[in-house]
Amino acid sequence: MASIVSVSHLTKRYGDTVAVDNLSFEVERGSTFAFLGTNGAGKTTTISCVTTLKEATSGEIRVNGHLVGRDDRSIRRSIGVVFQESLLDPILTVRENLVVRASLYEIPRDEACRRIEHLASVLELDEFLGRRYGRLSGGQRRRADIVRALLHNPELLFLDEPTTGLDPDSREKVWATVTALQRQLGLTIFLTTHYMEETERADLVHVIDHGRVVAAGTPSELRSTFARDELRLVLADTRRFDRSFPAARRAGNERNLPVASTRKALNVLADFEVDIVDFEFHHGTMDDVFLNITRGTQ
Amino acid sequence: MIYRLTRRNLTVFFRDPPAVFFSLLSSLILFVLFIAFLGNLQTQALHDQLPDASNASVNAFVHSWVLASVVMIATMTTSLSALVVFVNDRVTDGFRDFLVTPATRVQMISGYLLASFVVSMILSSAVLVFSQVFLGIFDHAVLGPSKLFAAFFSMVGFCLLFASIWSFFVTFVKSNAVFMSLGTIIGTAGGFLAGAYITVGTLPTGVVTFMNLLPLNPAATLMRQSFTASTLDSLTSTEQATTIVREEYGLNLLVANTSVSAWLLWFLFVLLFAIFLFIGSRRIGRRLG
């Protein structure tokens, strides 16, 4: 599959501070690409360089075949950006905001109105189109931001920490919408987030720390490399278990045992069935991946 | 594109009625103060100086004199207020939402400056119309076509001049609170520096020289000349009295303490406009990121 974004040796410095350090990656067309990192890791700076907002100190970025810094206007026509903050005018209605933004892409007014109605209906925003943007809830604003980013039918949608500050229900709605839109429109999604579980939706995840990629792969690859499944047991008698697994973490009668697979966990449960009062098995998560990677790099 | 960006800036500004009201507050305060008591003081003082002048001619002169300042101050305060859209966009970093569209930085800068000019033109024109209605109803002293055109021409020039000047100064403003404070200071100090509250004849020479180093009083003088041309003729018949009134009420064009022609003053204003437009645009461009 062809790359829609190609970043090669990107570096961005602010004075002596290196925000992005020799970063290279590719994003495949139609995929969901996620940048995972803590605040200040360099995610937003990278996205700003890719979306033509910031000039790179060095390196080369190509978006949809166009070179950033040379073909910026062409790039801007093919990308949509949902920023971390709400940037539409709070004093205007959602519809007015969207009409203004559509006009900047030279979309005729009638066509813009048709697209706004269609997207608003897909994102269940119809009833809020006449309401002032500043009076919407966080989740409604975010959906309005997504409509705004999709007005000109972009091929690539950047989501810069799109669910930060939203309640779980709104976050779920935003993600359901984005996933549905990606299926319908064949969008490529470039996501930055510090919510680990959100990267589970990605086809490819790059973990970024101090401006550098410290790990990359599919979520399952990253989990298998950097996180382990774990079995938590509460035992009536711990002596036999402790002899077999002296390295397990201990807290009173509770033991936490990393296991290589579900099969291995079942074997342990069968072996110690008579001693077990309670148990819990959980798969390694992207939180574990992230913590293991970033702790390892510090 | 510039038209669309300008229209957005205008829509955002006019959708906020308090912003529109406060942009005209200085002019309104000056007008109300004169109607309430300052006007009577001026009228009385002028009567004492020119005992032969009729009440009607004194009132017409004082009213046309103060309304000239009201119009000039409106051009100054409204062009500043319109830039609140730029300040808000800066505070929220809302520029980014435009910078990811095909709009260029130059188009964005032009949009802010043009919106400031258009806001100033619309509101100042309303004040100009009001001044003529007031002078027509109370003093039968509506400006003749040539003087009205001169006043309108001056108003357009001042709207351009102040839009460019403020485009430079607002780039130093990083918050809405600072912008509001700036607006208050400009609105208050501007009235004094334009010689609108107190006639320049009553001020020390050093203060007048300082006032004439800034563009406010010379601009107000140009406007006063258009507004008071006929009311001054009706007020005095002697050359000597006219000279005294012109000095007292700041009707002579001066830069610092040097007498200048209207053409030279306009040339200096054009120069000032070009300088501030250049440095203001550059600084706005940098603020855009």
Is the CB of A104 inside 8 Å of chain B's CB atoms?
A: yes
Out of A87, A101, A106, the one facing B92 most closely (by C-beta) is: A87
**Residue A192: CB partners within 8 Å, gap ≥ 6?**
A34, A35, A36, A37, A43, A44, A46, A47, A159, A160, A161
pLDDT on residue A264: 87
Closest CA to B64 of B29, B36, B34: B34
Which A residues, 163 through 192, put their C-beta within 8 Å of a C-beta on chain B? none
A52 neighbourhood in chain B, CB within 8 Å: 99-100
Give the integer Cα–Cα distance in Å for B85 and B176.
10
Is the CB of B101 inside 8 Å of chain A's CB atoms?
A: yes
Closest CA to A109 of A118, A124, A98, A119: A98
Closest CA to A88 of A147, A173, A161, A169: A147
Give the integer Cα–Cα distance in Å for A142 and A151.
14
Given a cut of 60, whether residue A163 has pLDDT beyond it is yes
Q: Which one-letter amino acid corresponds to residue A20?
A: V
pLDDT band at A296 (very low <50, low <70, confident <90, very high): low
**Residue B13: CB partners within 8 Å, gap ≥ 6?**
B19, B20, B81, B82, B84, B85, B115, B119
pLDDT on residue B186: 87
Q: Of A86-95, B36-45, B79-88, which range is least confident?
A: B36-45
pLDDT band at A123 (very low <50, low <70, confident <90, very high): confident
Given a cut of 70, whether residue A88 has pLDDT beyond it is yes
Give the integer Cα–Cα distance in Å for B34 and B41.
9
**Residue B136: CB partners within 8 Å, gap ≥ 6?**
B142
A80 neighbourhood in chain B, CB within 8 Å: 100
Closest chain B residue to the Cα of A103, Cα to Cα: B4
Looking at the complex, report in whole angstroms how far the Cα of residue B17 sits from the nearest Cα belonging to chain A: 11
Is the CB of B103 inside 8 Å of chain A's CB atoms?
A: yes
pLDDT on residue B275: 94
Looking at the complex, report in whole angstroms how far the Cα of residue B13 sits from the nearest Cα belonging to chain A: 9
Helix (H) or strand (E) holding A258: strand A254-259
pLDDT on residue B197: 83
Which A residues, 47 through 66, put their C-beta within 8 Å of a C-beta on chain B? 51-54
The mean pLDDT of chain A is: 86
Is the CB of B286 inside 8 Å of chain A's CB atoms?
A: no
Residue A156 and residue A7 in contact, taking contact as beta carbons nearer than 8 Å: no
Give the integer Cα–Cα distance in Å for A100 and A107.
10
pLDDT on residue A1: 54
pLDDT on residue B126: 93
Given a cut of 50, whether residue B241 has pLDDT beyond it is yes
Given a cut of 60, whether residue A129 has pLDDT beyond it is yes
Mutation for A interface: B15, B87, B97, B106, most A CBs within 10 A: B97
pLDDT top residue among B196 and B219: B219
**Residue B264: CB partners within 8 Å, gap ≥ 6?**
B255
Q: How many CB pairs under 8 A join A and B?
A: 58
Out of B15, B103, B289, the one facing A104 most closely (by C-beta) is: B103
Is the CB of B92 inside 8 Å of chain A's CB atoms?
A: yes
Is the CB of A234 inside 8 Å of chain B's CB atoms?
A: no
Out of B12, B15, B100, the one facing A79 most closely (by C-beta) is: B100
Q: Taking the model in full, what pTM does it have?
A: 0.82
Mutation for B interface: A97, A100, A159, A190, most B CBs within 10 A: A100
The mean pLDDT of chain B is: 88
Residue B259 and residue B253 in contact, taking contact as beta carbons nearer than 8 Å: yes
SS3 per-residue string spanning A107-163: CCHHHHHHHHHHHHHHCCCHHHCCCEHHHCCHHHHHHHHHHHHHCCCCCEEEEECCC
Given a cut of 70, whether residue A298 has pLDDT beyond it is no
List, for residues A169-222, the tens digit of each pLDDT value.
777 877 888 888 888 888 899 988 777 777 878 889 888 888 888 888 888 787
pLDDT on residue A176: 82
Beta carbons of A85 and B289 less than 8 Å apart:
no
3-state helix, strand, coil in chain B (%, to 5): 80, 0, 20
Residue B236 and residue B53 in contact, taking contact as beta carbons nearer than 8 Å: yes
Given a cut of 70, whether residue A226 has pLDDT beyond it is yes
Query: Cβ-count burial of B17 within 10 angstroms (0-12 exposed, 13-18 middle, 19+ buried)?
Result: exposed
Is the CB of A105 inside 8 Å of chain B's CB atoms?
A: yes
Is the CB of B106 inside 8 Å of chain A's CB atoms?
A: no
Q: What ipTM score was computed for the predicted complex, to two decimals?
A: 0.78
Is the CB of A133 inside 8 Å of chain B's CB atoms?
A: no
Out of B8, B93, B289, the one facing A100 most closely (by C-beta) is: B8
Beta carbons of A106 and B8 less than 8 Å apart:
no
pLDDT on residue B149: 93
pLDDT on residue A42: 85
pLDDT on residue A297: 47
Helix (H) or strand (E) holding A18: strand A17-28
Is the CB of B140 inside 8 Å of chain A's CB atoms?
A: no
Percent of chain A surpassing pLDDT 70? 98
Beta carbons of A105 and B101 less than 8 Å apart:
yes
Closest CA to A213 of A52, A57, A35: A35
Mean pLDDT of B41-67: 84
Mean pLDDT of B14-32: 86
Q: Which one-letter amino acid corresponds to residue B9?
A: N
The packing angle between helices B216-235 and B55-82, to 10°, is 160
Percent of chain A surpassing pLDDT 90? 26
